[in-house]
A and B are shown apart, each in its own frame.
Chain A
Amino acid sequence: MQKFSDLVSVLMVFVWLGGHPVSPLRPICDLRVLDHFVREARDSEVIMRGCRGGCSVMNSYFVPLTSVDFAVWEQIDGQAEEVQTGLSLLVKALSAARNTVSSSPLISTLDNNISNIHSLSQILHSLHLQQGRSTALSDDSASISIQTQEVSTLPELLQVQSSFLRGKVRLLFSAAPACQK
């Protein structure tokens, strides 16, 4: 009887946990995670340069702008939204490009990049940079308010991904108030 009551109490705890939202994430401020994702994005470029068949087909991809003017970067607002939107655009483009690729190493590294961008989105959410906006990667193109550029080849897409991660995403991470000591 005692054992049964203990089991019931444990089950009730699990039910309670399932019915309640998770607690806010702790800030992830270690830039080494992002550096790791950047290296893997660069590895994709290297693999792409060495690809000799079944690499990709011409396609149109809408990707975020990656250029950073340090003179104006700190003055602009909405950096977090811009980064989050850009990440979502990258995920879309990478997913579309992956479907056109038949080279298995390239497929593998593209899958890795997509997973990394998802993780980056979660990390950005942990930094509490969003203010009253949805943090989930949205498929709704109407919500996109940032400037985009169009690329037509996978090497260009991978270069944009690499530049975006090294640039705006990293700047946002290093400047996040939650990570300031």
Chain B
Amino acid sequence: MRIDTLKVVAVLCVAFVTIGGQSFESKVAQLLHDEADDLKCFVEGKKDLTCFWEEELERRNSHDRYTFIYSYEKEKSRTCDVSSLSLLASNRTVFLCKLPQILFFTVLHVQVLYDGRMLYNRSLNVENVLFLDPPRNLTVVSSGKEGQLNVSWLPPLLKYMDDSMIYEVRYAVEGSHMGKVEEIKASTKLILRGLQPGTRYKVWVRIKPDGVAYDGYWSAWTEPVFRATQPSDMDPLIVLLVLFIALILFILSVTVILSHHKFLLKKVWPDIPTPEHKFPGLLTVYEGDFKEWMRQNNGNMWGRSAHIYAEELPSPLEVLSEISLASNATSQIEERRTLEEEEEKTESEGTDSGITGSWQEPSQAHWFMEQLRALQENPQSLSQSMLLESPDTYVTLNQNSQHARAEDDSQVDDICDESLPLQTLFSNSGTSSLSASQSDLGSLQQSSGSGRLSSQSSFEYPNHTWPSNRPGYTYMAVADSGVSMDYSPMSSSRIEDLGKRVIYTNEYKNEIFGHKWAISGQC
């Protein structure tokens, strides 16, 4: 009878434990593993305090020989009924006692006696052995942001205790054993950050008193909740890299274009070629009038400076002899005219020899020197005679007129001293040499462009013998005509040498005036 009663009680106890759920057995199993004391006690809430101990081999099936005695501070002792529990998972058996009355914040003394002898003894505070159930209603949702999950759960249904808890959240990628743990105090929500996008995670939570007012053990983990994070639309790092590379390429292309923009512009939008640079002033000053341009440019064949465009330019002079001379002079004139006319018509090169040929006879040179001296002494007579002899315009080289001319037109002096050879020539004699009227010189210049100067150039010299000590007269005169050269036999060569400041291709070797020619050549 007694045995039957005990069996019923045992069955009821087992049933009670089973009904209590796996959680109780798991707690017992967990404390068996974690708690060092032989007599282990825990309180699940406000009402149920359980103390248990493990069955020892030598004391098997002897739970009725155990006596459980407990007493609170300053209170009398009481006993508790002992029961046993078989742990299916570990195949172990424990003896336990559930205290009917629980007082917090005071000392509890517990004793286990086996056959009247003290087996276990322990003093504890009930508020320090809280073993709570895992948090309820664990919820994990996507926060809408990349790599984030919102985790929330409910606090325990324990009044006055719910504000003294701490929680642990464990999360890991599904299928992975590596997880992270986050601890939270005084809150039942947590945002998990830094998660991989588009990945499925599983999350657990457990609870434990914070240890200030209450203390206890970590609860069991909740059942895991699975949730996937939001997939990323585009990796921000890749987007940034692409933008950065595009920016660098853009800057490089802009730099290349700017550094070679002139070249590229010429290739894409080439300038319309104009001959302006070959014909300075043709289109701007003379408005395309090529003849006028040529005329004007003739006087400036050897130079571009404004001084060259002075009104009066020295022009080649044709020395004519007197009558006694006149016959020779006439012949010379005629010969000269013929040559000039031919040259004007043909404008051929190689006429240098024509001029030079007319002057290269030393006897003629000496004769001319004498004529010039005579002319210097008596310029009027020559002018009269020459005027009678020839209808052409002659240049009268007159020292006075030259001076007057210098006074009137200072530009003459500014001219690269092309008149200097003439002045020097006449100054050597100390007297007025061949006179050259200003008007004639002016006419000479005027006609220089037309190419008729040579026909007009002439000396007016008096009917007297020329000074004999005139060196290289004829050569000098001709050489001096290097300023206006278009009409001369060497006109073609002049044109070639335009801008090169070379007067003649033929050099006239005159020891007195050679350097002068060099000077004039630089004009």
A residues touching B (Cβ–Cβ < 8 Å)? 31, 35, 38-39, 65-71, 149, 159, 163-164, 166-168, 170-171, 174-175
Does residue B127 face the partner (Cβ distance < 8 Å to A)? yes
Residue of A38, A39, A149, A167 near B104 (CB, 8 A) is: A167
For the complex, what is the distance from the CA of A31 to the CA of B104, rounded to whole Å?
19
Query: Besides the contacts A166-B127, A167-B105, A167-B127, what 15 more A-B pairs have beta carbons closer than 8 Å?
Result: A31-B163, A65-B106, A66-B105, A67-B73, A67-B106, A68-B103, A70-B47, A70-B102, A163-B106, A163-B125, A166-B105, A166-B213, A171-B160, A174-B163, A175-B160
Instruction: Specify which chain B residues have a CB less than 8 angstroms from the CB of A166 in the assembled complex.
Output: 105, 127, 212-214
Binding site of A, secondary structure by majority: helix, strand, loop or mixed? helix
Is the beta-carbon distance between B213 and A38 smaller than 8 angstroms?
yes
Is the beta-carbon distance between B106 and A170 smaller than 8 angstroms?
no
Instruction: Specify which chain A residues have a CB less than 8 angstroms from the CB of B102 in the assembled complex.
Output: 69-70
| B interface size (C-beta, 8 A) | 20
Instruction: Specify which chain B residues have a CB less than 8 angstroms from the CB of A163 in the assembled complex.
Output: 105-106, 125
Instruction: Specify which chain A residues have a CB less than 8 angstroms from the CB of B101 in the assembled complex.
Output: 69
For the complex, what is the distance from the CA of A65 to the CA of B72, rounded to whole Å?
12
B residues touching A (Cβ–Cβ < 8 Å)? 46-47, 72-74, 101-107, 125, 127, 159-160, 163, 212-214
Centre residue among A66, A164, A166 by max chain B CB count within 10 A: A166
For the complex, what is the distance from the CA of A168 to the CA of B160, rounded to whole Å?
11
Query: Nearest-CB distance from B100 to chain A (Å)?
Result: 11
For the complex, what is the distance from the CA of A174 to the CA of B102, rounded to whole Å?
21
For the complex, what is the distance from the CA of A166 to the CA of B160, rounded to whole Å?
11
In order of increasing CB-CB distance, the 8 nearest A-B pairs are A167-B105, A67-B106, A67-B103, A70-B46, A163-B105, A166-B213, A68-B104, A35-B212
For the complex, what is the distance from the CA of A22 to the CA of B465, rounded to whole Å?
146
For the complex, what is the distance from the CA of A142 to the CA of B385, rounded to whole Å?
171
Instruction: Specify which chain A residues have a CB less than 8 angstroms from the CB of B159 in the assembled complex.
Output: 70
For the complex, what is the distance from the CA of A166 to the CA of B105, rounded to whole Å?
7
Query: Nearest-CB distance from A161 to chain B (Å)?
Result: 11
Instruction: Specify which chain B residues have a CB less than 8 angstroms from the CB of A174 in the assembled complex.
Output: 160, 163
Query: Nearest-CB distance from A95 to chain B (Å)?
Result: 23
Is the beta-carbon distance between A164 and B104 smaller than 8 angstroms?
no
Query: Nearest-CB distance from B55 to chain A (Å)?
Result: 32
Q: A70-B46, A174-B160, A174-B163 are in contact. Are A164 and B212 (CB under 8 A)?
A: no
Instruction: Specify which chain A residues have a CB less than 8 angstroms from the CB of B163 in the assembled complex.
Output: 31, 174
Q: Please list 23 pairs of residues, one from A and one from B, whose beta carbons are closer than 8 Å in the complex, sorted by A's number.
A: A35-B213, A66-B106, A67-B73, A67-B103, A67-B104, A68-B103, A68-B104, A69-B103, A70-B46, A71-B47, A149-B73, A163-B105, A163-B106, A163-B125, A164-B105, A166-B212, A167-B104, A167-B105, A167-B127, A167-B213, A168-B105, A174-B163, A175-B160
Query: Nearest-CB distance from B216 to chain A (Å)?
Result: 14
Q: A149-B74, A163-B125 are in contact. Are A70 and B212 (CB under 8 A)?
A: no
For the complex, what is the distance from the CA of A135 to the CA of B125, rounded to whole Å?
31
Query: Nearest-CB distance from A150 to chain B (Å)?
Result: 9
Least CB separation from B75: chain A residue: A67
For the complex, what is the distance from the CA of A65 to the CA of B212, rounded to whole Å?
20
Query: Nearest-CB distance from A101 to chain B (Å)?
Result: 23
For the complex, what is the distance from the CA of A164 to the CA of B16, rounded to whole Å?
36
